[in-house]
């Protein structure tokens, strides 16, 4: 675990985080711990606990859960279970990876294919983390896309078989949501009664906000770094933001971001700049924020109404307009 206390200036954190809790000034200070995993800063803040464990121990323990998941779920990290399966094309997965992959395949169906866990080779080709980015060869995009879309992920129990030749599993769009779910469950089991988990674009609130009233979570502006697009007021719950500003590069005035359209293999251009989803669990919030971003506001609204009645969303369009599915949930700045 790499501790990041050196990054603890609040303006720097605001610039990095897509969602950020705004706490009441009068609230008691939580025990907080930070680490770095899934390419982002993770923070656990524990305000109150009823069991034997101290808030400090709970915050540190929650982060250990997330740190332990990366070696399982990363598509690329050397030795990670999914990365190894991608290389060998056949694998016997752990119970945990198999269960999450099964959920990913279900969400692929439920999202009409907008959330697609088969895009790992394309994401690697685009290399959005490169210090000197360049556009991939369109013919290569086309070839990888054809193989990804034409290939099956077969999961029989824990036995995984990958079809195709180049297709790679990538659970990056749900890994943080899953880590958030696991951390929350662990915290509740161990006596935390009021806590906040921040994992880049995924947030979980546990218990009532210290000081009373709903939790206030700021959504980062996709247009200006360090600025806030608005504030969500939520009870206990799970939130996830997917944003075109989060990761990517700009070439000749054109933005190329890390959320790919599974129909084209290119960054999704759906008229959205950012989507925030409030859902009954972290995996669903994370998967749907990615899927909604791909689909665009109108198709995402149709899907939400047809299949996800318990889910709310805030859309921030490239034209600067916003739409929230529930009155009183989001206040634009």
**Quick count: other Cβ atoms within 10 Å of Cβ 124?**
18
DSSP 52-64: SS-HHHHHHHHHH
- Which of residues 121, 145, 173, 283 is near ligand ADP by CB under 6 A? 173
Choosing from 49, 119, 160, 313, the residue that interacts with ligand ADP (CB under 6 A) is: 119
Residues of this chain, 122-141, that bind ligand ADP according to CB under 6 A = 123
What sign has the CA pseudo-torsion 182, 185, 187, 190?
A: negative
Query: What residues line the site for Mg ion (CB under 5 A)?
Result: 173, 286, 289-290
From the CB of 176, what's the least distance to Mg ion, in Å?
7
Question: How many Cβ atoms sit within 10 Å of the Cβ of residue 175?
Answer: 27
**Does position 201 bind ligand ADP by CB under 6 A?**
yes
Q: Which does 116 bind (CB under 5 to 8 A by kind): Mg ion, ligand ADP, none?
A: ligand ADP
Count interface residues toward ligand ADP (CB under 6 A).
22
Which span sits near ligand ADP by CB under 6 A: 21-29, 62-70, 114-122, 225-233? 114-122
Task: Work out whether 286 is an interface residue with ligand ADP (CB under 6 A).
Answer: yes
User: Rounded distance, CA 74 to CA 92, Å?
Assistant: 16
CA 40 – CA 89 distance, rounded (Å):
28
Q: Cα 145 to chain center, whole Å?
A: 23
276 lies in the binding site for ligand ADP (CB under 6 A) = no
Q: Binding string to ligand ADP for residues 86 to 105, with x set by CB under 6 A, is what?
A: --------------------
HSE, CB side, 13 Å, CA atoms: give it for residue 315.
22
Contact 105, 117 (CB under 8 A): yes
Contact footprint for ligand ADP (CB under 6 A): 115-117, 119, 123, 170, 172-173, 176, 200-201, 242, 246-247, 258-260, 262, 286, 289-290, 294
């Amino acid at each position: 675990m790499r501790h990041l206390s050196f990054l603890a200036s609040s303006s720097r954190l605001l610039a990095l985080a897509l969602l950020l809790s705004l706490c009441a000034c009068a609230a008691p200070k939580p025990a907080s711990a930070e680490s770095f995993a899934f390419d982002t800063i993770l923070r656990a803040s524990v305000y109150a606990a009823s069991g034997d464990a101290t808030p400090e121990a709970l915050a540190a323990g929650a982060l250990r859960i997330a740190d332990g998941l990366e070696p399982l779920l990363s598509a690329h990290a050397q030795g990670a279970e999914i990365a190894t399966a991608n290389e060998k094309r056949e694998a016997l997965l752990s119970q945990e990876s198999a269960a999450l992959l099964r959920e990913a395949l279900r969400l692929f169906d439920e999202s009409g294919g907008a959330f697609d866990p088969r895009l790992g080779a394309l994401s690697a080709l685009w290399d959005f983390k490169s210090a000197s980015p360049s556009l991939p060869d369109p013919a290569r995009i086309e070839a990888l896309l054809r193989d990804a879309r034409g290939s099956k992920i077969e999961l029989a129990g824990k036995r995984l078989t990958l079809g195709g030749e180049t297709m790679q599993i990538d659970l990056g769009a749900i890994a943080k949501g899953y880590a958030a779910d696991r951390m929350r469950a662990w915290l509740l089991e161990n006596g935390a009664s009021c806590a906040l988990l921040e994992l880049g674009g995924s947030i979980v609130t546990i218990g009532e906000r210290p000081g009373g009233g709903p939790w206030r979570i700021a959504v980062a502006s996709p247009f200006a770094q360090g600025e806030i697009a608005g504030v969500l007021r939520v009870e206990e719950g799970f939130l996830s933001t997917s944003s075109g500003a989060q990761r990517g590069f700009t070439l000749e005035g054109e933005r190329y971001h890390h959320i790919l359209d599974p129909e084209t293999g290119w960054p999704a251009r759906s008229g959205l700049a950012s989507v925030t989803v409030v859902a009954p669990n972290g995996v669903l919030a994370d998967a749907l924020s990615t899927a909604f971003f791909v689909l665009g506001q109108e198709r995402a609204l149709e899907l939400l109404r047809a299949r996800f009645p318990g889910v709310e969303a805030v859309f921030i369009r490239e034209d600067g307009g916003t739409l929230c599915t529930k009155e009183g949930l989001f206040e634009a700045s």
